[in-house]
Structure 1
Amino acid sequence: MKLVQVFDAYCGWSYGFAPTLDELLRRHPDLGVEVVSGGLFIGPRRVPIQEFGNVRAANAKISELTGVSFGSGYARLIADDSFVMDSEAAARGVAVLRQAAPDRIVELAAALQQAFYVDGMSLSDPATYRAVADTAGLDSDAVVGAFTAPGPAAAAKVEFTRAAGLGVDSFPALLAVEGHRTTPLAVGHATADQIDQRLHALTTAS
């Protein structure tokens, strides 16, 4: 069995879920996790942040339920109502980081969300990937070069198609995949204890 997390780097609930996933993997280090970008803000949804209503109220709810904090850098960034969250660019970045360190993708995806939601760094900016790569001890020149190359754009589209094929349209979603069977373990929000119970029920049933 492996786990698949379908998330979006620009999704606040995905950001809030990162500590839960980290705790779950501490409990179950034998479980592999595939990270798939879902494509929340693409096409007609790739618009200025002001068009999404009261983002601050939604973030307050995420903080209340998950304990994550939204930083002052992020607050400054979204104060400019013209800022556009581009999930295609974010998915390209995730693909590049996965290519650089495939075994660390859960950690790197979380670091990317920290860069946005705490430091207020745009996930469309190559400098963001340089900073994440430097902090992680990766070759930042190679990461930035790959981000600006044409290949990751195709990889992003493949991930969006995979997410849709898994039946996911709400992020984040954590799925247990075994053979041809896919079982949802969490959608949106869940605690590590709740997921543990679902995992136990799943393994007991099988």
Structure 2
Amino acid sequence: MKLVYVFDAYCGWSHGFSGTLREIVSRHPGLPVDVISGGLFTGERRVPMSTFGFIDEANSHIGRLTGARFGEGYQRLVAEGAFVMDSEAAARGVAALRQAAPGRAVELALALQEAFYVDGQSLSDPATYRQLAEGAGLDPDAVVAAFESPGAQVAAEADFRRAADLGVTAFPTLLAVDGSRVVPLARGHATADEVDHRLAPLGITPAS
């Protein structure tokens, strides 16, 4: 049995789910977690932020519900409106960080979202991954090289296919996967207690 977390680094609700995911990982330290990029802003959806007139209202709602913080750097991007969220580039970044430290995929995915939603850093910029790698004690040159490599593109596309194969249509989605059995645990928002309530029938309880 493992958990599969399907998110998008440019998804505000995924950012809002960070606290729940962090708590679940803390409660279940022996439970493996796969982190998969879903691909929210790809193709024709890669447009300036000003196109999405609901961002401020949605973020306010997410913040009230989850306690997630949207920092000044990010708020400047929203106000300027020209920034383009490219989920394909972000997925390449997730793949590069995951490759550098497979056992820290959750931690690094959450740090990546914080880089955007708090500091307003572009997830298309190699400098963002250099900074994240340095902060995490990883080889920054290796992470940047992986981000810019063809292999990262292949990994990003594989993530998108896997998300689709799992039937995920909204982000974030947390699943329990045991072979061919897939049990939804959360879509969009859930507390750690709610997730644990759904894990209990599967024989998974928090570590004492």
Distance 1:118 1:18 in 2: 13
- TM-score normalised by structure 1 residue count: 0.97
SS at the partner of 1:129? helix
Cα deviation digits, residues 73-94 of structure 1 (max 9, x gap): 1111222212100000000000
1:165-186 alpha-carbon deviations (Å, 9 max, x no partner): 0000100000000111001000
Instruction: For residues 126-181 of structure 1, give each alpha carbon's deviation from its aligned partner in whole angstroms, at most 9, with x where no partner exists.
Output: 11001100100000011111111222111111110000000001000000001110
Deviations 1:22-50 (A, max 9, x none): 10111111111000000000011111111
**1:88 — aligned with what?**
88
For residues 193 and 2 of structure 1, what CA distance do their matches in structure 2 show? 18
Q: Which residue of 2 aligns with 1:67?
A: 67
Alignment of 1:21-100 (within 5 A): 21-100=21-100
- Runs of 4 or more above 2 Å deviation: 201-204
Cα distance in structure 2, aligned partners of 1:148 and 1:28: 34
Counterpart Cα distance in 2 of 1:197 and 1:43: 38
- The match for 1:201 is 201
**Identity across aligned pairs (percent)?**
66
> Gaps spanning 5+ residues in structure 1: where?
none
TM-score (norm. length: structure 2): 0.96
Please, what is the CA RMSD of the aligned residues? 1.0
SS at match of 2:19: helix
Deviation at 1:63, TM superposition (A): 0.5
Partner of 1:149: 149
> In structure 1, what is the equivalent of residue 160 of structure 2?
160
